[in-house]
């Protein structure tokens, strides 16, 4: 099958989707609630994937593809000092990239704001917490919440980080976030602990 044929089939499948069904972003297959995610390194985007596509494209990624299967591991860490990283807020996540850079993100009502972390600062943090050296590029992150006296430090899949950004966007009200956003963030971290 040529790539043009695959693209045409994908477009046709997407045209048949209904808004109530969750579908594979690659082939259009209906998905179960506990489906896997892929990261498209070309578009820097998380995609929903059926079992067949996650197996097919992971094998392809080993040779030349741009899809990476998002792992499911969640590891709670002892506190990690993010001060050297120049984080202006208490809620942020850090994603090492395949090219060796590290992008820092913090959620806002408009989505995630991001910047590139100073490489020597990142190495300083990794030196103090060797577990961070095991992060899989593009698909795992260091997630930190020290806002409002919280102490959450995690290695998580990037889809968890995007889910947290969605919670902030959905619940944020006014200039300071309002009364709904912080309880929703606390609930997010409670669920993260339960999934560990």
Domain boundary among the residues 34, 52, 69 is at 69
Q: Both 59 and 134 in a single domain?
A: no
The pTM assigned to this predicted structure is: 0.83
Q: Both 39 and 133 in a single domain?
A: no
- Please tell me the predicted confidence (pLDDT) of residue 18: 47
> pLDDT band for position 44 (50/70/90)?
confident
Structure-block tokens of residue 112: 């995630």
Q: Both 87 and 130 in a single domain?
A: yes
Q: Both 87 and 179 in a single domain?
A: yes
pLDDT at 182 exceeding the cut of 80: yes
Q: How far apart are alpha carbons 174 and 178 in whole angstroms?
A: 6
Domain boundary among the residues 25, 42, 69 is at 69
Residue 93 CB-half CA count within 13 A = 25
Instruction: Determine what percent of the chain is predicted with pLDDT higher than 90.
Output: 57
Q: Both 100 and 149 in a single domain?
A: yes
pLDDT at 26 exceeding the cut of 60: yes
Tokens 């889910």 -> residue: 163
- Please tell me the predicted confidence (pLDDT) of residue 122: 95
Q: How far apart are alpha carbons 37 and 93 in whole angstroms?
A: 18
Quote the domain boundaries for residue 146: 75-195
Q: Both 23 and 86 in a single domain?
A: no
Q: Both 46 and 84 in a single domain?
A: no
The predicted model gives 105-133 an average pLDDT of 92
Q: How far apart are alpha carbons 47 and 69 in whole angstroms?
A: 10
> pLDDT band for position 48 (50/70/90)?
very high
């Amino acid at each position: 099958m040529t790539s043009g044929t695959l693209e045409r089939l994908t477009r046709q499948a997407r045209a048949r989707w209904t808004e109530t069904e969750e579908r594979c972003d690659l082939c259009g297959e209906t998905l179960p609630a506990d489906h896997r995610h892929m990261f498209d390194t070309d578009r820097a985007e998380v995609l929903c994937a059926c079992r067949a596509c996650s197996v097919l494209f992971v094998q392809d990624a080993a040779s030349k593809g741009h899809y990476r299967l998002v792992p499911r591991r969640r590891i709670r860490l002892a506190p990690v000092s993010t001060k050297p990283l120049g984080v202006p807020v208490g809620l942020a996540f850090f994603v090492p990239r395949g090219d060796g850079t590290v992008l820092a993100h913090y959620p806002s009502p408009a989505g995630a704001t991001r910047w590139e972390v100073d490489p020597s600062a990142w190495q300083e943090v990794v030196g103090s917490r060797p577990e961070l050296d095991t992060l899989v590029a593009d698909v795992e992150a260091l997630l930190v919440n020290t806002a409002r006296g919280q102490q959450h430090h995690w290695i998580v899949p990037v889809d968890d980080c995007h889910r947290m950004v969605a919670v902030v966007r959905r619940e944020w009200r006014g200039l300071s976030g309002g009364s709904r956003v912080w309880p929703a963030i606390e609930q997010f971290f409670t669920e993260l602990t339960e999934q560990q």
